[in-house]
Structure 1
Amino acid sequence: MTYVVTENCIKCKFMDCVEVCPVDCFYVGENMLVIHPDECIDCGVCEPECPAEAIVPDSDDKAAAWLEKNRDFALTWPNITRKGTPPEDADAWKDKPGKAELFSAEPGVA
């Protein structure tokens, strides 16, 4: 099992999860984070830290559409090991549904 970042992270990118990850398996894109599934040790400490409830175990139905994106983009985006500043409008985007179409494949800044 691994944990997966889902579309709830898009445009929120709070990054609280990064601070608690013991293996630094988060990677940063322009408007969301992903978890490298081969680096995740399944400890689960990141899941309750996410204010947007964007992190789920891969056994959750919500993870299916995002597992491969997490894997693929973790290979090209920079690794992030410290919490950065979330977007100014993160709270406004936090509970909005249907954000998948807003996904950006562009890398972020670690």
Structure 2
Amino acid sequence: MSYVVTDACVDELDKSCVEECPVDCIYEGARMVYINPDECVDCGKCVPACPNDAIYWEHKLPEDKSVFVDIATVFFDETEASGGAEDFRPIGRDHPTIAEMSTGEN
């Protein structure tokens, strides 16, 4: 995995990052977007495009946000979304941790 979307994206869904992604690896759930770790090419174009500072390079991810690596992995294992986000947009569900987050919790 190269880049990770964190809780600052929950209920924001600005999607500027999606527009910047050259490989179409950012998938939309119900409350946030997720970067497919198997499709990301580590270009970093999504980071400056995010107005919420929700995206981190995995190796610079703050310790308190490390759970989002597992959240993305499980999300893609459960949804089997791959091959380009355009065909899946929006998926319409989230990882259980995100789905259960209360508004304003991020």
> Normalising by structure 2, what TM-score?
0.71
Distance in 2 of aligned mates of 1:12 and 1:67:
19
> Could you tell me the percent identity over the aligned residues?
38
> In 2, are the aligned partners of 1:26 and 1:74 still within 8 Å (CA)?
no
Aligned amino acid, residue 66 of structure 1? F
Cα distance, 1:77 vs structure 2: 7.1
1:1-110 alignment, distance < 5 Å: 2-59=2-59, 60-62=61-63, 63-75=65-77, 76=79, 80-81=85-86, 103-104=98-99
Higher helix proportion: 2
Q: Deviations over 1:40-96 (max 9, x none)?
A: 000000000001110001012254110111122134175634xx9xxxxxxxxxxxx
Listed as ranges, the gaps of 5+ residues in structure 1 are 85-100, 106-110
Matched positions, count = 88
> Highest relative contact order (Cα 8 Å, sep 6+), 1 or 2?
1
Runs of 4 or more off by more than 6 Å in structure 1? none
Distance in 1 of aligned mates of 2:98 and 2:37:
19
Structure 1 range deviating more: 39-48 or 60-69: 60-69
Distance in 1 of aligned mates of 2:66 and 2:97:
18
Partner in structure 1 of residue 103 of structure 2: none
Aligned amino acid, residue 99 of structure 2? S
Listed as ranges, the gaps of 5+ residues in structure 2 are 90-95, 101-106
> Normalising by structure 1, what TM-score?
0.68
